[in-house]
Amino acid sequence: MSLARFALTPRFPTFWRDVDELFGPVAQQPATLTPAADILETDKTVELHLDMPGIAPEAIDVKVEGDQLTITAERKDEKNVEDKGWIRRERTRGTFTRSFTLNDTLDGTKPEATYRHGVLTVTLPKREAAQPRSLKVKVEA
């Protein structure tokens, strides 16, 4: 039995270069800047974790208005960036806004936000009435 090598390089590199030149700006449109979000529910809180690498903490705005949690941020270009010389630019730049609707079990008056290692964590406590309660019942025989 013999092994065959598998090449990851395209067989027609000039074809792909021609396609890129043909579609130019359409094929090179930047992706939208919408961070992925994980939402974790515990007994006392709900936590949102958003991946936001490369965004300065002062460029992040977290707001609660009524039952809406809104996160707005902006990723800017590095200073002195020229348009010439780039081979590829895939990291998106710009402003994004992401909103989440809070249900009535959450206390929107006491949110906390931290930003570490490119991850924004927003913690919203649950209202006292929504937190699980445990009662000890004495059993008599």
Tens-place pLDDT, residues 75-101 = 887 665 666 777 777 777 888 899 999
Instruction: Find residue 30's DSSP bridge partners.
Output: none
What percentage of the chain exceeds 90 in pLDDT? 33
**Averaged confidence pLDDT in the chain:** 79
pTM of the predicted structure, to 2 decimals: 0.66
Domain ranges of the chain: 31-77+93-129
Residue 135 has pLDDT above 70, yes or no: no
Q: Which residue has the higher pLDDT, 17 or 42?
A: 42
Read off the pLDDT band of 27 (50, 70, 90). Answer: very low
Read off the pLDDT band of 4 (50, 70, 90). Answer: low
Q: Which residue has the higher pLDDT, 112 or 23?
A: 112
- The per-residue pLDDT for 7 is 53
Residue 5 has pLDDT above 90, yes or no: no
Residue matched to tokens 């002062």: 58
Asked if residues 62 and 113 have their Cβ atoms less than 8 Å apart, the reply is yes
Question: What integer is the mean pLDDT of 24-30?
Answer: 51
- The per-residue pLDDT for 108 is 84
Domain 31-77+93-129, CATH class in plain words: mainly beta
CA atoms within 13 A on the CB side of 35: 30
Which long-range contacts link 101-104 to residues 24+ away (Cβ below 8 Å)?
A: 101/67, 101/68, 101/69, 102/64, 102/67, 102/68, 102/69, 103/67, 104/67
